[in-house]
Amino acid sequence: MAKMIHSMIRVLDEERSVAFYGQAFGLKVAQRLDFESFTLVYLANAETGFELELTINKGREQPYERGDGYGHLAVSVEDVDAEHARLSAAGLAPRKLVDFAPGGEVIARFFFIADPDGYEIEVLQRGGRYL
């Protein structure tokens, strides 16, 4: 069986991205590998073994284009309302809370937030399939 271990995104500014993911989701640098033309930064927290890999290409000055294929990353939290309020107070501009109820019954409560490079992150209330 395969085990998902990380997802990688390219970011323009290492310090800015590490600060955002630390403040927003409590991710800390698990490992940093520096090479001649790029740096890899693995972010993690105690909640899961899954990591977010940031790739920083040295000398890059233009923001990356995400194209139309990228969707989003997702995290689950114990109290989505409290997280929305915390991120709002921190000035990180989460979008509005949504109760997703396609058949009349709420199956997910969530909001989206964008990181400094424009990557979308869905923040879901823990429960059901979103543990």
Residues with a catalytic annotation lie at 122
Instruction: Kindly tell me the number of DSSP H helices and DSSP E strands found in the chain.
Output: 2, 8
Q: By three-state DSSP, how is residue 90 classified?
A: coil
Helices marked H in 26-130: 80-89
Name the DSSP class of 64: P
Number of other CB atoms surrounding residue 34 within 10 Å:
10
Q: Do residues 76 and 121 make contact, with C-beta atoms less than 8 angstroms apart?
A: no
